[in-house]
Amino acid sequence: MTAHVVVPFPLARRIAFVERHADIISVMSPKSAECHLAYQLKVQRDALMRRGVDAERTGREIASFDRAILAASERESVA
């Protein structure tokens, strides 16, 4: 039997998705923003795992997604 490898589209490259969440957290209090981001990261992690993405790749995707949202949020606060 041949094992299949599921390769997800990089979450950090979903620009509209990243920017939407950056916009949302930019108007929240720091604590609320932290909770919202943690929840969204969990939702995405669970979705990747459900689709069969291996744990190591999922971890990398979630870390990249986290950095992308935080960077976009920083850009929002500067603009």
- The model's pLDDT over 5-50, given as tens digits with 9 standing for 90+, comes to 666 667 767 889 999 999 999 999 999 999 999 999 999 999 999 9
Written as one letter, the residue type at 12 is A
Indicate the range of 5-14, 51-60, 70-79 predicted with least confidence.
Answer: 5-14
Residue 75's closest CA among 7, 30, 23?
23
pTM equals 0.80
